[in-house]
Amino acid sequence: MKTVRLGCGAAWARDRFDHAPDLVARGQLDYLCFDSMSEVTMSAAQVARMDNASMAPYDPYLVDRMRPILRDCKRQGIRIVTNAGWLDPAAAARRLAQLAGELGIDGLKIAAVSGGVLHRAIADMGLDFNETGTPIAEARDRILSAETYLGAEGIAQALAQGADVVITTRVADGCVYLGPLAHEFGWSFDDCHAMARGMIIGHLMECGTQVTGGYFADPGYKDVPDLANVGAPIAEVTQATAYITKLPGTGGLVSEATCKEQLIYEVQDPAAYLCPDCIADLTRVSFRQAGPDRVEVLIDQAGRPRTDTLKALVGLDEGYMTEEMVLFAGPGALARAELTQDILRQRFRKIGLAPRDMRMDYVGLDAVHRESTPPARGEPYEVVLRIAIRTDTRAQAEKLRQEIDPLAVNGTYGTGKWATTSPGSRVRPVVGLNSALVPRHRVPFQLSVHTHP
């Protein structure tokens, strides 16, 4: 029976770089897949390009990730699938073709799957925001980005055309695994159960080492061996079976528990996990430990037909934000932090700083759970006061630092700065993310092929 082996080279743009070379060297892979996305990735890229038009419109780490592995993948016949194309997959494909030339790799076929970037069109589609029900057209002047989650069909088509590397724009994370599986097993995209099977496997793999012990470990409760060297996951899939495992000799853990936690990660309704190519019922998934660091994934007819719409993320201009941190240590640290907080509120009123939003937290005491934090046991020996503001203008945001730095001589004794005192702005634009449902027929994808030479 045909077995397809897929390895996770990265779970997001800033994941570790050493997983992929190890998988290429020892993984006996058919596919090496890279997820390069987060919810805010493309919106942040749009904002960054507003400040620097020369910035590449694709994952800035693309070349650094591909350079060590591209030649060996071509030689071994390992095909690469990644959504690192971001805003312009064709530009990313051309850069990889250039890299192939630099590395002396002949005949490398790179496919780009584009589409779904709607920031110039979405305000004219008559759609409403999911969160508020208000028309998107009313926010026309604040739209910075709009991208749709595409499915895996373009990836499967590219592989069918012989692509060695497939690089896409935003697709649902699990699609970088579903696409290869659909291609290898000849699945129809109208077969909702096959689509759900591939998407569930992809969902287990998409966050990389989260399924092999990362983001799972909790010392004394859920112990994971050698987490500093945690191994990336590998999926072994046939038409009838699926297993999650990892390379021998790597740290981490593959167990029923790690798989269960990843299965429900970022899922609202487990019985109706909405994906571009299907609706997956995760309640029809179970796991069986099949050996050390090897878990069988059992999926029982878990699909329902795909919806008529696709989710789009719309990035809106929400002004500017900045933050500062002030340190206090020793006896009376909390009292001095509280006095400093009062001083800052008075100073903000005096200089006319009226932020749209403001938070003052004590890092380590209440910065995460805020009002739900249980009372502190005893007086803390050190306190970090964090002040964060959001304003309509950059000039307003700059006023925060103008009041923090003078605390060195105008505040309580023992006031320290967390951040550097070097000149330069720490103000950054804020992108507010909203979502909308776009009719599927209004979001076609385009496929282009690039080769070297």
pLDDT tens digits for range 119-143: 989 999 999 999 999 999 999 999 9
Question: What angle, 0 to 180 degrees and rounded to 10, lies between the N-to-C axes of helices 175-185 and 192-206?
Answer: 140
Distance CA 156, CA 369 (A): 44
Tell me the CATH architecture of domain 317-433. Answer: 2-Layer Sandwich (3.30)
pLDDT tier at 374, thresholds 50, 70, 90: confident
In the chain, % of residues over pLDDT 90: 86
Structure tokens at 87: 């805003």
pLDDT tier at 306, thresholds 50, 70, 90: very high
pLDDT at 56: 87
Higher per-residue confidence, 370 vs 424: 370
pLDDT at 241: 98
Residue with tokens 């503001």: 389
Region 191-205: mean pLDDT is 98
pLDDT at 311: 97
Strands annotated E in 212-284: 233-237, 242-246, 273-275, 278-280
pLDDT at 373: 83
Distance CA 204, CA 231 (A): 15
Distance CA 158, CA 180 (A): 10
Distance CA 185, CA 195 (A): 11
Q: Which DSSP symbol is given to 128?
A: B
Residue 329 neighbours by CB under 8 Å, 6+ apart: 381, 382, 383, 414, 416
pLDDT tier at 11, thresholds 50, 70, 90: very high
pLDDT at 40: 76
Mean model confidence pLDDT for the chain: 94
Higher per-residue confidence, 418 vs 306: 306
pLDDT at 74: 97
Question: What angle, 0 to 180 degrees and rounded to 10, lies between the N-to-C axes of helices 153-160 and 175-185?
Answer: 50
Asked whether residue 279 carries a pLDDT value surpassing 90, the answer given is yes
Buried residues in 411-429 as b, exposed as e (16+ CB within 10 A): bbeebeeeeeeeeeeebbb
pLDDT at 422: 65
Asked whether residue 49 carries a pLDDT value surpassing 90, the answer given is no
- Whether the upstream peptide bond of residue 276 has omega within 30° of 0, thus cis, is no
pLDDT at 421: 61
Q: Supply the pTM of this predicted model.
A: 0.94
Asked whether residue 259 carries a pLDDT value surpassing 90, the answer given is yes
pLDDT at 390: 97
Region 326-342: mean pLDDT is 95
Distance CA 91, CA 423 (A): 36
Rg of the chain over all Cα atoms, to the nearest angstrom: 25
Asked whether residue 216 carries a pLDDT value surpassing 80, the answer given is yes
pLDDT at 417: 80
Structure tokens at 307: 């919806």
Q: Are 173 and 341 in contact (CB under 8 A)?
A: no
Asked whether residue 85 carries a pLDDT value surpassing 70, the answer given is yes
SS (H, E, C) 136-166: HHHHHHHEEEEEECECCHHHHHHHHCCCCEE
pLDDT tier at 367, thresholds 50, 70, 90: confident
Q: Are 249 and 18 in contact (CB under 8 A)?
A: no
Q: Domain ranges in the chain?
A: 4-313+436-452, 317-433
